[in-house]
Amino acid sequence: MTKRMPHLLGGFFALAVFIVPLLLCAQGRELERRDLVKICEFSSVKTDEGYAEKRKTWVAQTHRVRVSAPTKVSFEYDEVLGLAVFTLPERVLLADGAFLQVHGERTLRFEMPEVKAIDLAAGFLTQTIHFDLEVISVAHSDYDHELCEHHGAAVALQVQVVAAEIREAAGRTKGRFVTNLGSQIRMLKSLGVASYLGDSTPSVTVSALAWSESPVMKTAANDPSIETSRDMLTQQLQNQMFGCYVKGLSKNARLQGAVVVQIVPGNPSKSLVLMSSVADAGVKSCVLSKAQSLAGTLSGAPNGHWRATLIFKLNQRPG
- DSSP assignment of 19-80 equals -----EEETTEEE-HHHHHHHHHT-S----HHHHHHHHHHHH-EEEEEESS-SS-EEEEETT
Give the model's pLDDT for residue 5.
46
Q: Are residues 192 and 72 in the same domain?
A: no
No. of helices (H) and no. of strands (E), the chain: 6, 18
Q: What is the mean pLDDT of residues 57-76?
A: 77
Q: Which residues contact 260 (CB under 8 A, 6 or more apart)?
A: 273, 274, 275, 276, 307, 308, 309, 310
Give the count of alpha carbons within 13 A of 173, CB side only: 9
304-316/257-263 β-pairing: antiparallel
Asked whether the predicted pLDDT for residue 28 surpasses 50, the reply is no
Q: Are residues 55 and 204 in the same domain?
A: no
Q: What is the mean pLDDT of residues 3-32?
A: 44
Give the model's pLDDT for residue 11.
37
Neighbours of 293 (CB within 10 A): 14
pLDDT digits (tens, 9 = 90+) for 72-120: 778 899 888 889 998 988 988 776 678 889 998 899 999 999 999 999 8
More confident residue, 38 or 217: 38
Asked whether the predicted pLDDT for residue 276 surpasses 90, the reply is yes
Give the model's pLDDT for residue 35.
72
Q: Are residues 134 and 237 in the same domain?
A: no
Handedness of CA 299, 300, 302, 304 (dihedral sign): negative
Which percentage of the chain shows pLDDT scores above 70? 76
Q: What is the mean pLDDT of residues 190-215?
A: 71
* Domain termination residue (choose one: 118, 147, 178): 178
Q: How confident is the model at residue 197 (pLDDT cuts 50, 70, 90)?
A: very low
Q: Are residues 162 and 195 in the same domain?
A: no
Give the model's pLDDT for residue 287.
95
Give the count of alpha carbons within 13 A of 261, CB side only: 30
Strand order in the sheet with 257-263: 200-213, 304-316, 257-263, 272-276
pTM exceeds 0.95 for this model: no
Q: Are residues 200 and 174 in the same domain?
A: no
Give the model's pLDDT for residue 129.
87
Q: What is the mean pLDDT of residues 156-166?
A: 91
Number of domain units in the chain? 2
Are the beta carbons of 273 and 223 closer than 8 angstroms? no
Q: Are residues 43 and 165 in the same domain?
A: yes
**In whole angstroms, what is the distance from residue 16 CA to residue 303 CA?**
51
**In whole angstroms, what is the distance from residue 1 CA to residue 59 CA?**
39
pLDDT digits (tens, 9 = 90+) for 206-240: 988 888 865 444 444 445 555 557 778 888 898 88
Q: How confident is the model at residue 31 (pLDDT cuts 50, 70, 90)?
A: low
Asked whether the predicted pLDDT for residue 4 surpasses 80, the reply is no
Give the model's pLDDT for residue 92.
84
**In whole angstroms, what is the distance from residue 103 CA to residue 206 CA?**
21
* Domain termination residue (choose one: 178, 206, 228): 178
Domain hosting residue 105, numbered range: 2-178
Give residue 171's region: left, alpha or beta (phi > 0; psi -120 to 50): left
Q: What is the mean pLDDT of residues 267-290?
A: 93
Q: Are residues 160 and 235 in the same domain?
A: no
Q: Are residues 144 and 259 in the same domain?
A: no
**In whole angstroms, what is the distance from residue 55 CA to residue 62 CA?**
13
Q: Are residues 232 and 150 in the same domain?
A: no
Q: Are residues 138 and 193 in the same domain?
A: no
Give the model's pLDDT for residue 282.
94
> What average pLDDT is seen over the chain?
78
* Domain termination residue (choose one: 144, 178, 212): 178
Q: Are residues 111 and 210 in the same domain?
A: no
Q: How confident is the model at residue 302 (pLDDT cuts 50, 70, 90)?
A: low
Q: Are residues 158 and 201 in the same domain?
A: no
